[in-house]
Structure 1
Amino acid sequence: MGKHRRTSPSKIRVISSGRSRPSHTKSRTSVPEGQDSPAKKRRLTHVLVGASVTLAGGAVASPPAHADTGQDLSAAIAAIAWKGERPASRAVSAESARSRTSLQVIADGLPKVSAAEVLDIAERQIGVKENGAGGGTKFHRWYMDSYRADETVERDGGSIRGYANAPWCAMFVSWVGEQAGIRPVFGWDAYTVTYAQWFKANGHWGRTAKSGALVFFDWKGGDSLYGIDHVGLVEKDNGDGTITTIEGNTGNGKVERRVRPKSQVVGYGYPVYRA
């Protein structure tokens, strides 16, 4: 297969891990001194200080969501919801915030969604197929229209139009989380490696197959996040060394249900399900 990992349409540079990574070649518009660029303003609209990994889904150079900064963030955590509004009657105490992960706290302001409901959304997309150029799906269009595309282009280089025919397994999974209304605790990205890093940074990463988990594959059977090639959703653990999944951007260029060996799994990302 080999087409599942996102790469930028721009030049490639080599990072210290020894693997290729898209370079940052996006052209920049001159901004007057003392003013933020439009892209930065859009990002800051969605980012709480100390929580950029959770809310923006950003690169793991940022601290895990609500990392201890020496400040009392309980009031700020309580104010986080789908679009940043304060959840009605959902005050979060500092004690409860400390006893749970940041994503679990954020989930208090989101709809109660089960793994079964998320998988139903994904299942209804089975059969959606890419065009002859390898793109053109509604998942591509949605991602290109989202502010997340601005963020990942700034991070990885290239241009938003480069996503039009890009490998789309991560865009498909991200779209499912958006449709379920739990994007802040589901994450979103177009690059499988940084998507996995986001789960790990937020303490929602493991090696156990669970229904509704995101599953990250390395076709060579490695265990490094940097070797991840593909992502899908776990439908069930078959109990025989395989899992049943729902994935976009399969070898047939479709959303399909697949049975995969666990030997190809690097790990699992666990969204917060509330029912």
Structure 2
Amino acid sequence: MSPEDRAVGVAVAGVMAGAVGLAIFNPLTGGTASAETPAQAAAQHRESAVSERSGTEHAPRKAARSASRTVAASTVIKLAKSQLGEGESRNGSTKYADWYASTPHAAVTARRDGGSVGDYRGAEWCDMFVSWLSAQTGVKNMGWDAYTVQHASWFEKTHRWGDIARPGAVVFFDWQNGSRGGIDGIDHVGLVVKDNGNGTITTIEGNTDNAVKEKIRDKSEVVGYGYPDYAKSR
């Protein structure tokens, strides 16, 4: 989610002053943030009989049931590649934003950051795309958010943050300051496909020219990487 989007209320600039503290608090459980995916949290939300509901689909039941299983990075990358070319509708929304707005998390993050649940449908959606990948696959500790600064802060505070471009890592960018910048300046997020070994990485990103696209990015643009718990390759 870009600074421009924060300005319209979905993630207001005032949040940045408390970003680190908020990033490790999970309003769904009333404590510090667990490493749950959207599917896990949605299942917990239903089981707690919380009555926030919507008419569109939530994270699939299959993902909720299998959220504890170990998922390979290649599984998430494969799903991301299957979305290449997906873009915005005429009203500026996407299936990823529609999905996010339908989950209990939208109400939680809207209360945290300002704005309303409906704002997500026209908002910058790069992080909602990453959250959708997490929910669909049930990968552990990929986290969920619509605000890149909060998501990156969560990775850092849960000790899943670093500077190595591993396949399947969640990569965070700062277009102005690049690797010299900090988490509070992050503008954009995507998924690492591979390290090209020449100072660049191949990524798949939502909300790139209003679509899901594969890109070659210079590592100098990267603030850091978040690491989900993937199955160890054999």
Task: Give, as a single letter, the amino acid of the residue that structure 2 aligns with 1:218.
Answer: D
Query: Contact conserved, 2:195 with 2:202, CA < 8 A, in 1?
Result: yes
TM value normalised by structure 2: 0.76
| Structure (1 or 2) with the greater helix fraction | 2
Is 1:152 aligned to residue 151 of structure 2? no
The residue that corresponds to 2:218 in the other structure is: 261
- Whether the 8 Å contact between 1:234 and 1:245 is mirrored in structure 2 is yes
The alignment status of 1:112 with 2:70, answered yes or no, reads: yes
Q: Deviations over 1:204-254 (max 9, x none)?
A: 00001000000000011232000100000000000000000000000x211
Check whether the contact 1:4–1:230 (CA below 8 A) recurs between aligned residues: no
**d(CA) in 2 for partners of 1:172 and 1:215?**
13
- TM-score, normalised on structure 1? 0.65
Find the counterpart in structure 2 of residue 211 from structure 1.
Answer: 167
Structure with the larger RCO, 1 or 2 (CA within 8 Å, 6+ apart): 2
Q: Is the 8 A contact 2:165 2:192 kept in 1?
A: yes
Determine which of 197, 203, 207 is the counterpart of 1:239: 197
CA contact (8 A) 2:67 2:138 kept: no
For the residues of structure 2 that align with 1:167 and 1:228, how far apart are their CA atoms? 13
Q: Which amino acid is the alignment partner of residue 144 of structure 1?
A: A
SS of 1:249's equivalent? strand
Kindly indicate whether the alpha-carbon contact (under 8 Å) linking 1:4 and 1:249 is maintained by their aligned counterparts in 2. Answer: no
Q: Which amino acid aligns with 2:138?
A: G
CA distance in 2, matches of 1:162, 1:81: 21
| 2:127 maps to amino acid | A
Which structure 1 residue ranges, 4+ long, deviate > 4 Å from structure 2? 2-6, 11-17
On the 8 A contact 1:8/1:156 being kept in 2, the answer is no
CA distance in 1, matches of 2:109, 2:16: 20
Cα shift readout 1:159-197 (whole Å, capped 9, x = no counterpart): 011111100000001000100012x51101000000000
Helix, strand or coil at the partner of 1:247: strand
* Distance in 1 (alpha carbons) for counterparts of 2:148 and 2:98: 18
* Structure 1 pair 273–165 and aligned structure 2 pair: CA distance change class (3 A): same
The question of whether the paired residues in 2 share the 8 Å contact of 1:244 and 1:257 is answered with yes
Which runs of 5 or more structure 2 residues have no equivalent in the other structure? 20-25, 45-65
Structure 1 residue 52: deviation in Å?
2.9
Which amino acid in the other structure matches residue 260 of structure 1?
R
Maintained 8 Å contact 1:81/1:110? no
Stretches of structure 1 that go unaligned for 5 or more consecutive residues are 22-41, 58-79, 85-107
Give percent identity, aligned residues only: 44
Give 1:141's aligned residue.
Answer: 98
Greater CA radius of gyration, 1 or 2? 1
CA distance in 1, matches of 2:7, 2:196: 36
